[in-house]
Amino acid sequence: MAKVLVSGAGGYIGIPLCRKILEQGHELIALDRYFFGKQRLADIEANPKAKVVVDDIRSFDPGLLKGVEIVLDLAGLSNDASAEIDPQLTQSINCDGGRRLARIAKEAGVRRYIYSSSASVYGNGVQDQLKETDECRPLTLYAESKLRVEEELAKLNGSGFEPVIFRTSTVFGLAPRMRFDLAINVMTLRAWKERVVYIMGGGQQWRPFIHVNDVVRAFVMATEQPAEKVSGQTFNLGSDDMVFQIGQLAQFVLDVIPNVTVHRIPDDTDKRSYNVSFTKIRDQLGFISQTRVHEGVVEIKQALERGTIESDSPTQYTLQWYRSLLDWEARIKELSLNGKVL
Ligand SMILES: NC(=O)c1ccc[n+]([C@@H]2O[C@H](COP(=O)([O-])OP(=O)(O)OC[C@H]3O[C@@H](n4cnc5c(N)ncnc54)[C@H](O)[C@@H]3O)[C@@H](O)[C@H]2O)c1
């Protein structure tokens, strides 16, 4: 069993991934700033094999990496819109922070390093069935930041350091730090709550999708693979039968939640469209997604009906939450006198 560090441990993917790492019998360091709260990790904190560390990938003491064999890096501003709030912040967290973590991990002797990049790097894809070797045309700072870290990992590859890059599809499904800013999740919520589904940007844009549990399965699989199969490799993470046009998604939701009005909003600032090939991950690692969109919609609907997830928590909207944090910081600074607000 290994000592494993997960950064971004308090996030949508991070929490189920940490649980799985512990289930596998590993020792876990769950590192995060916990911008979305730490309360959902109570079970992880209670596990004697886990250490929950509140710190920043940009500045934490590299001593934390002593004895760590495997790092899974998920920390950062996690979507295109949040990365546009402040370009300097994106540079500092996603680029500089991501590269620093990789560098100090290698210096500390970490062997396997798994990085959560994004299929967003393809931007407005030049062609259908984009392969890992095809040109990336990032349209956003977020996608560029992912490519910068990918480049750093390519430089660090070797001498016992085994980076693995996943260009993850857009994720859906139920998780403790629920994200209702992701296409399938938000369509399900609106359909259930308001009986409306919005299709943005005309609905012709191609996107690959993957269930959060399949992402966790792939990440864990990457911790176990022999170096010759994964080291220094980039994989599109998803399945060929889970690539859809945004307009098609509405039907999945309507199949589960009927009597819903569909609104097509013709324009959208988000111009990304990429139709990605998942042949490499299937042929090289035998990975195929197990959970269908339909199942994701059903589990979210059921959780909303049972009240096991909230339908209006501000932390479920990544962009708005980060904006609120920055607003509060500015207000507190403005109101503070002698270091106190009141
Ligand atoms: N969810 C998706 O659809 C998707 C798709 C492709 C790639 N990804 C990537 O996967 C990773 C995880 O995504 P997610 O959906 O779980 O996002 P998330 O926003 O839920 O989780 C990211 C976590 O990183 C933490 N974090 C942010 N800045 C930090 C810093 N400076 N130091 C330490 N921790 C910090 C946050 O507190 C948060 O808990 C991200 O890198 C994201 O870009 C996600």
Does the beta carbon of 165 lie inside 6 Å of ligand 1?
no
Question: Which atom of ligand 1 is closest in space to residue 60's alpha carbon?
Answer: 32
d(CA 15, CA 7): 10
Distance of CA 73 from the midpoint of ligand 1 (Å): 9
Q: Would you say domain 3-267+274-319 falls under CATH 3.40.50.720?
A: yes
**What single-letter amino acid sits at 82?**
S
Does the beta carbon of 10 lie inside 6 Å of ligand 1?
yes
Provide the residue ranges of all domains of the chain, joining segments of one domain with +: 3-267+274-319
For 108-143, how does the pLDDT look when each residue is reduced to its tens digit (9 = 90+)? 999 999 999 999 999 876 678 899 999 999 999 999
Does the beta carbon of 56 lie inside 6 Å of ligand 1?
yes
Distance of CA 295 from the midpoint of ligand 1 (Å): 23
The preferred substitution site among 78, 122, 144, 249 for testing ligand 1, maximizing ligand atoms within 8 Å of CB, is: 78
Does the beta carbon of 182 lie inside 6 Å of ligand 1?
yes
Distance of CA 30 from the midpoint of ligand 1 (Å): 13
Q: How confident is the model at residue 268 (pLDDT cuts 50, 70, 90)?
A: low
Separate counts of helices (H) and strands (E) for the chain:
13, 12
d(CA 97, CA 91): 8
Residue nearest to ligand 1 atom 7, measured at CA: 118
d(CA 49, CA 176): 20
Task: Return the pLDDT at 232.
Answer: 98
Question: Which atom of ligand 1 is closest in space to residue 57's alpha carbon?
Answer: 32
pTM over 0.85: yes
For 156-202, how does the pLDDT look when each residue is reduced to its tens digit (9 = 90+)? 999 999 999 999 999 999 999 999 999 999 999 999 999 999 988 77
Does the beta carbon of 176 lie inside 6 Å of ligand 1?
no
Contact 265, 307 (CB under 8 A): no
With 0-12 / 13-18 / 19 or more C-beta atoms within 10 angstroms meaning exposed / middle / buried, residue 137 is middle
